[in-house]
């Protein structure tokens, strides 16, 4: 679906990602056996920023990640946790400190960050629930940024939240469909355009652009996992905003991921439990 020109122009306002993030994105999906070398390259980019380095080490040494075996140097994070986890922590920290909000969708900066971060957690818990489905660990990155288009739309559009809500209620349609009718596209289209601009791999762009598409043609494990992660986050009350639970999801996501109702409930429960540790890891109040 085409993005209106006004919105396309606003996408250029999104600054490039930090150099370490861009480097790691290029490495996703590559076959290499030198995580230690890459870890050293990443550390060299980050360590001049002593405050950021301290924050990242605090996350990796928190109960959320490290447990009984702390790391002392940032360059040890890549071989210990993997490239996707290192990239996830870098991006999560970056998003927390940008302070982006999405007022059009009723999301404060903390609401916006929490929804993406919890969706990322939900992907991890889905992988743990059924590891045989081979969901890429990098799908957490798509879950983290699946709603970033809401930020761009809130910044540049004259459409009001009331217009979207009233149209959805009057026509009995989803909030995303109300976006399409009033704006010409929905936030998943804009989110995908932003991460494509940041040179995310195609399989992550696809997972983002399709997380509200019903039915899903030729779905992949990443697409299903991100769509489900959005539902998990909202089911436990994180990032409801004005959209609330007024959205559709391909019901086949559950069965393709090997989840029944009880398994879905376990994913929701473990995600809610992990949320407390995640907040503490990033220096937020657990309440």
- The answer to whether residue 9 sits within a structural domain is no
Percentage with pLDDT > 90 across the chain: 69
Dist. CA 191–CA 210, nearest whole Å: 10
Q: Which tens digits make up the pLDDT trace of 86-144? A: 899 999 999 999 999 999 999 999 999 999 999 999 999 999 999 988 899 999 999 99
- Does residue 237 register a pLDDT over 70? yes
pTM over 0.85: yes
Q: How far is CA 121 from the centre of its chain?
A: 9
Q: How far is CA 12 from the centre of its chain?
A: 20
- Cα–Cα–Cα angle for 14, 15, 18, nearest 5°? 130
Q: Is 107 helix (H, G, I), strand (E, B) or coil?
A: strand
Dist. CA 39–CA 47, nearest whole Å: 12
Dist. CA 27–CA 240, nearest whole Å: 34
Dist. CA 123–CA 141, nearest whole Å: 9
Q: Which tens digits make up the pLDDT trace of 164-205? A: 999 999 999 999 999 999 999 999 999 999 999 999 999 999
Percentage with pLDDT > 70 across the chain: 96
- The answer to whether residue 253 sits within a structural domain is yes
Contact 175, 183 (CB under 8 A): no
Q: Are residues 176 and 79 in the same domain?
A: no
Q: Are residues 108 and 77 in the same domain?
A: no
The widest CA-to-CA distance across the chain, in whole angstroms, is: 57
Contact 156, 7 (CB under 8 A): yes
Domain boundary among 75, 98, 121: 98
Dist. CA 115–CA 271, nearest whole Å: 12
Q: Are residues 25 and 108 in the same domain?
A: no
Q: Are residues 133 and 263 in the same domain?
A: yes
* DSSP letter string, 236-264: TTSS-TTTTT-----THHHHHTT--HHHH
CA count, 13 A, side-chain hemisphere, 113: 19
- Does residue 38 register a pLDDT over 90? no
Q: Are residues 69 and 143 in the same domain?
A: no
Q: Which of 27-31, 165-169, 227-231, 248-252 comes out lowest in average pLDDT?
A: 27-31
Q: Are residues 85 and 133 in the same domain?
A: no
Number of residues in the chain: 287
Dist. CA 145–CA 99, nearest whole Å: 14
Say if residue 159 is exposed, middle or buried (CB neighbours under 10 Å; 0-12, 13-18, 19+).
middle
Domain residue limits at 27? 17-98
Q: Total structural domains in the chain?
A: 2
Q: Are residues 84 and 67 in the same domain?
A: yes
Q: Are residues 89 and 67 in the same domain?
A: yes
Q: Is pLDDT larger for residue 228 or for residue 31?
A: 228
CATH at 175 = 1.10.3210.10
- The answer to whether residue 28 sits within a structural domain is yes
- The answer to whether residue 7 sits within a structural domain is no
Considering only CA atoms, which of 27, 148, 126, 46 is closest in space to residue 90? 46
Dist. CA 109–CA 35, nearest whole Å: 34
Domain boundary among 45, 67, 98: 98
Dist. CA 41–CA 25, nearest whole Å: 14
Considering only CA atoms, which of 50, 49, 70, 48 is closest in space to residue 60? 70
- The answer to whether residue 8 sits within a structural domain is no
- The answer to whether residue 3 sits within a structural domain is no
Q: Is 50 helix (H, G, I), strand (E, B) or coil?
A: helix
- Does residue 34 register a pLDDT over 80? no
Contact 122, 232 (CB under 8 A): yes
Domain boundary among 98, 114, 133: 98
Q: Are residues 118 and 205 in the same domain?
A: yes
Q: Are residues 157 and 262 in the same domain?
A: yes
pLDDT band at 63 (very low <50, low <70, confident <90, very high): confident
- Does residue 32 register a pLDDT over 60? no
- The answer to whether residue 123 sits within a structural domain is yes
Q: Are residues 107 and 245 in the same domain?
A: yes
- The answer to whether residue 275 sits within a structural domain is yes
Q: Is 138 helix (H, G, I), strand (E, B) or coil?
A: coil
Q: Are residues 184 and 107 in the same domain?
A: yes
Q: Is 206 helix (H, G, I), strand (E, B) or coil?
A: helix
């Amino acid at each position: 679906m085409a993005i209106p020109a006004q919105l396309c122009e606003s996408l250029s306002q999104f600054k490039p990602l930090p150099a370490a993030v861009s480097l790691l994105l290029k490495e996703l999906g590559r076959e290499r056996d030198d995580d230690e070398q890459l870890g050293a390259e990443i550390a060299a980019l980050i360590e001049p920023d002593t405050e950021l380095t301290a924050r990242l080490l605090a996350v990796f040494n928190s109960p959320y990640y490290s447990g009984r075996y702390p790391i002392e140097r940032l360059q040890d994070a890549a071989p210990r946790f993997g490239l996707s986890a290192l990239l996830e922590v870098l991006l999560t920290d970056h998003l927390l400190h940008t302070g982006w909000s999405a007022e059009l969708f009723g999301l404060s900066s903390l609401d916006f960050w929490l929804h993406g971060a919890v969706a990322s957690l939900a992907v991890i818990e889905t992988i743990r629930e059924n590891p045989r489905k081979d969901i890429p660990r990098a799908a957490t990155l798509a879950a983290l940024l699946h709603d970033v288009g809401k930020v761009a739309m809130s910044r540049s559009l004259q459409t009001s939240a009331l217009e979207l809500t009233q149209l959805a209620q009057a026509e009995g349609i989803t909030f995303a469909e109300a976006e399409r009718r009033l704006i010409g596209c929905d936030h998943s289209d804009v989110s995908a355009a932003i991460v494509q601009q940041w040179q995310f791999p195609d399989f992550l762009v696809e997972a983002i652009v399709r997380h509200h598409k019903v039915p899903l043609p030729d779905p992949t494990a990443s697409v299903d996992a991100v769509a489900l992660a959005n539902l998990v986050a909202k089911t436990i009350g994180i990032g409801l905003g004005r959209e609330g639970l007024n959205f559709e999801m391909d019901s086949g996501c559950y069965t393709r991921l090997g989840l029944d109702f009880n398994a879905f409930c376990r994913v929701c429960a473990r995600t809610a439990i992990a949320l407390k540790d995640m907040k503490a890891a990033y220096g937020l109040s657990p309440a």
